[in-house]
Structure 1
Amino acid sequence: MVKTGRPKKAELTVTEADRRELVRGARAATSTQAYALRCRIVLACAEPEAFNKDVAAELGISVPTVAKWRGRFIEHGLAGLADEPRPGRPPSILLDQVQQVVELTLEQTPPDATHWSRASMARRSGLSRSTIGRIWRHFDLKPHRTEGFKISTDPLFVEKVVDVVGLYHNPPERAVVLCVDEKSQMQALDRSQPVLPMMPSAPERVTHDYVRHGTTSLFAAFNIADGTVITELHRRHRAAEFKKFLISIDKAVPAELDIHLVCDNYATHKTPLIHQWLARHPRFHVHFTPTGSSWINQVERWFGYLTAQLTRRGVHKSVAALEKDVRDWIERWNTEPRPFVWRKTAEEVLDSLARYLKRISGAEH
């Protein structure tokens, strides 16, 4: 079909040097949102048969905006994309100084520390501490913060993500899907001094040191359909205990239903003892999560609730006391279970990871 729309007043031509600068301006962290958008407009207009109407629809902006910056570029080149001078006091902080602070923050570290502080960056750049703080807030830079991550190296990562997420979105008929894992080495901890209760203007206070009274392991199977949990507590964490837990699951689930287990690659889940038991119980189907990807197992989120609401601030003088509190907490949970809602599809998970890997890829990675 022949495209319709207002014809272009003049041909827009982008040289290779201009294209490199436009791509850099559209992607650079130091570019303002307005300048980055203008660069994307020109790049889109440079495509063959790029009508203003089509570019506006692609970028989610108005046709007059596309026409304005197309005309500016045709008339003035890259200089036409800059904001026109406005009356008022000239800025005290030049753009070159802002760019220097951002580049130093992202690309270098101070010689005497692992990360920049406002004081060290102020000494390095010659700006004030408050100015450094405003620049960092504007670009959402937080050098003092660090977060953990783990990217799976499992060669079957894609297949396992598709398999597990597919279970969450489309569970099989006449079957139950259980997310299984162990919360091992749960410690019965007693603070060295009594806990000081919360008071107005003062939070609860606990001593930083404690006395250990032993450990226990919680085996749990989280039902993704209704949120109920099948659990067992064992003092040891071996394949023998995992087999006992599988037997408990077999007894708890009606015989006419198949059982799909989502579990990780822990060694106790793959021993010959477990393989033999599963071979004798064909209604069990095991789906392994990718290595280093416990976030995909819903029971881990349930363990997070247990930790936040019971064990992190709990005080127990014996393992038996810890186990009693855990059983009571689980009993209360099962009276009002709350299933989790898994919203992302496998394609969205993989696309998100691919975008992140593309952002961090470079010569230093």
Structure 2
Amino acid sequence: MPVAAACPIALRAGERERLKKMAYGHKTGHRLRMRAQVVLHAARGGSNARIARETGLHLDTVRCWRGRFAERGLGGLSDRERSGRPPSYTALQVAEAKALACRLPAETGVPLARWSCPEPAAELAARGIAGPVSASTVRRWLAQDALKPWQHRSWIFITDPRFRAKAQRVLDLYARTWQGIPLGADEYVISEEEKTSIQARCRCHPTLAQARAMRVNHTYGRGGALAYLAAYDVHAARVSGRTEPRSGIDPFMNLVAQVMTQEPHASAKRVFWIVDNGSSHRGQKAADRLSAAFPNAVMVHTPVHASWLNQVEIFFSVVQRKVVSPNDFTDLTQVRVRLRAFEDRYNATAQPFQWKFTTSDLDDLPARLDRHTTDHQEEFSARPAT
């Protein structure tokens, strides 16, 4: 029986270069590498039998890929699209799974606070929506729509009736303006807050610094706790802090005295103290107490539940990441020394924070919250009763 003649292969320069990279590249898959080698051997005039011997492939395999390249070029070396196994679940069943994940478990009668993938899988089978389905399948379905019902995020509504007026005063001070008048060179803005309950945890085994990750022993001895009070000069990016056994009115006034008795604040025309509504400086009594002790000090409160407007919170986040965590201190004295040394290090190189939330953003915030509230209420009212 006559043997069919092998397909002649003629390569252009560009095709030859691409085939060489495919045949000898370290990142090329094995199957694609062997197909490229078959074509290169064929371009040099090799017979199919000889190419099969040199590459270790079956003769039919060599004949197939040589013919595919002769017919379709480089595109012929890729696998053809396959229909694959028919889907085990219908589009309606997948939609039912996603709808179930978008509801709170308690609304469906399941005594859980939130879903994880095994629970929706079991619930789908229990309701007869789908047959046995694995948790990984449910996870793949939810990932297609970026649904993660096992996660949660807390949020809070604005409840202060004077939110806008209070927030605008703070934002104006960040922009060096007070009641529409620019601040002078001898007027300063201080952002103050207390970081309470910084513990001294002495690890029972020393912390180890390794190449992959720091190793911190889980067991520790308690060495007490203290409060760290910090006054952050918004425009000079300087921090003046102190540690106290606990927070309160007296510790706060001690910090004020520490700042206000030193230059340039001692001789300043006005020093604005931005504080939250904590018990150490809440209400008009705290403002009167501050101005009585230091007539050039003006207390400015942030709105209720809006401590994110206080810039010193950013500094405290730096302290938490760079100084406190992981917590491994032998005693409170070491905590005090570390905090004081970090203040000196921070003040030597710090730049003012690039505060981007302005009064124009403040105008958009209530509208965004109203839309969020309306959408949430409409979604809740549209849910069917269980």
Q: TM-score, normalised by structure 2?
A: 0.64
Letter aligned with residue 117 of structure 1: S
**Matching residue of 2:370:** 354
Q: CA RMSD in A?
A: 2.7
User: How is 1:1-365 mapped onto 2 (pairs within 5 angstroms)?
Assistant: 93-109=89-105, 111-125=110-124, 126=130, 127-171=133-177, 172-174=182-184, 175-200=187-212, 203-252=213-262, 253-254=264-265, 255-270=267-282, 272=285, 275-345=288-358, 346-362=362-378
Higher deviation after alignment, 109-118 or 135-144: 109-118
Number of corresponding residues: 276
User: 2:276 and 2:115 mapped to 1: Cα distance?
Assistant: 39
Contact 2:204 2:219 in 1 (8 A): yes
Segment of structure 1 superposing worse, 144-153 or 290-299 = 144-153
Answer whether contact 2:274 2:299 (CA < 8 A) is retained. Answer: yes
Contact 1:194 1:206 in 2 (8 A): yes
Q: Relative to 1, partners in 2 of residues 1:275 and 1:364: Cα closer, same or farther, differing over 3 Å?
A: farther
Give distance in 2, aligned partners of 1:353 and 1:176: 33
The 3 A distance-change label for structure 1 pair 354 and 169 is farther
Could you state the TM-score of these two structures normalised by the residue count of structure 1?
Answer: 0.68
Aligned CA distance change for structure 1 residues 302 and 122 (closer, same or farther; 3 Å): same
Cα displacement (A) at 1:258: 1.6
Cα distance between partner residues in 2 of 1:344 and 1:93: 48
Change beyond 3 A, Cα 1:290–1:274? closer
8 Å Cα contact 1:169/1:342 also seen in 2:
no
Greater gyration radius: 2
CA distance in 2, matches of 1:249, 1:221: 8
Query: For residue 173 of structure 1, what is the amino acid of its counterpart?
Result: L
User: Secondary structure, in 3 states, of the residue corresponding to 1:143?
Assistant: coil
Distance 1:227 1:354, change over 3 A: farther
Evaluate the alpha carbon distance shift between residue 210 and residue 364 of structure 1 in structure 2; reply closer, same or farther with a 3 A threshold: farther
Q: Which runs of 5+ in 2 are unaligned?
A: 1-82, 125-129, 382-386
- Partner amino acid, structure 1, of 2:270: D
Structure 1's 192 and 361: CA in aligned 2 closer, same or farther, altered over 3 A? farther
Q: Percent identity?
A: 24
**CA offset at residue 163 of structure 1?**
2.2
Paired AA for residue 115 in structure 2: W
Deviations 1:25-73 (A, max 9, x none): xxxxxxxxxxxxxxxxxxxxxxxxxxxxxxxxxxxxxxxxxxxxxxxxx
Aligned counterpart, 2:71: none
5+ residue gaps, structure 1, are 1-87
- Aligned equivalents of 1:287, 1:273: Cα separation in 2: 10
Residues 277 and 340 of structure 1, relative CA distance in 2, 3 Å threshold: closer
Structure 1 range deviating more: 330-339 or 89-98: 89-98
Structure 1 residues 305-358: Cα deviation after superposition (integer angstroms, max 9, x where no partner): 001111121321111111001100110000001321121222233344333333
Deviations 1:258-280 (A, max 9, x none): 21111111122148576234135
Equivalent residue letter for 1:106: C
Deviations 1:230-275 (A, max 9, x none): 2122223221221121122212334134211111111221485762
How much does 1:199 deviate?
3.7
Q: 1:199 to 1:102 in 2, by over 3 A?
A: same
Q: 8 Å contact 1:239–1:269 — kept in the other structure?
A: yes
Partners of 1:317 and 1:331 lie apart in 2 by 22
Larger mean Cα displacement after TM superposition, 222-231 or 145-154: 145-154
SS at 1:292's partner residue?
coil
* 1:28 match: none
